[in-house]
Amino acid sequence: MRVAALIRVAVACGLTALAPLAARAQDVAPPVIITVDVQQILRDSLVAKGIQAQMDQRTERYTKEVTSQENELQKTQNELEQQRTTLAPEAFNAKMRDFQQRYDTLDNRVQATRQALQQSYNDAMTKVENTALQIIADIAAERKANLVVAKAAVLFEAPELDITQEVIKRLDTRLPQVQLAEPAPAPLPPAPGPAAPLPAPGLATPH
């Protein structure tokens, strides 16, 4: 009898302890879900396409400039090779040092400009992404959604849950374009020390 009484007390206490949990569960709103493809927004929106077009134009323009300077250096290298046996050692070494300095200068400028271009692109796309996230938050509030899910994580969805096109439409209106910042001119490298060995015939393209 005593055991049965203890069991009844334990059950009663357990139900009493679970009552607040059940009440809190009833207070949680059912999920209202929307889905969005952020990568599509950053690819297909008007502003994203404009930024990519600017990046392509600047890359093409700078590649042409670098190619022209590389051709000049290649010409200089060929001339030096022809003069190796005709110039005095001091004069030849002086020309080699000048060539090496020009080569190093071009290489440093290529690296610095490439990094600056990439930074300009990243800054512009960060502005686009932040604006898109604000629009997503606005739409979520309008639809009283309490859960936003990336489409990449969804296997199946009803079409009306996807807000991607609505975000793109609003983004095209709110932020139609972003101008890429002009990279600062690359600084000249410090004066080189003794000339390093020249590359093998055929100037290597700086990376």
pLDDT attached to residue 64: 92
Q: Which of 144, 138, 136, 139 is CA-nearest to residue 29? A: 144
CA distance 82 to 93: 14
| pLDDT tens by residue, 51-87 | 999 999 999 999 999 999 999 999 989 988 888 888 8
148 φ/ψ angles, rounded to the nearest 5 degrees: -110, 125
Would you list the DSSP string of 38-91?
HHHHHHHSHHHHHHHHHHHHHHHHHHHHHHHHHHHHHHHHHHHHHHTTTS-HHH
% pLDDT > 70, the chain: 75
pLDDT attached to residue 29: 78
The domain 2-174 is placed in CATH, from the list 3.90.230.10, 3.90.199.10, 3.30.910.20, 3.40.50.170, at 3.30.910.20
66-75 contact pairs (CB < 8 A, 24+): 66/106, 66/110, 66/206, 69/106, 70/106, 70/203, 70/205, 70/206, 73/99, 73/102, 73/103, 73/106, 73/203, 74/202, 74/203
pTM, entire model:
0.70
pLDDT attached to residue 9: 38
Tokens 């600062």 locate to 184
147 φ/ψ angles, rounded to the nearest 5 degrees: -150, 120
Name the 3-class secondary structure at 172: helix
Domain ranges within the chain, ordered by starting residue: 2-174
| pLDDT tens by residue, 157-199 | 999 999 999 999 999 999 999 999 987 665 544 444 444 444 4
pLDDT attached to residue 197: 45
The three-point CA angle 76-77-80 to 5° equals 90
pLDDT attached to residue 20: 55
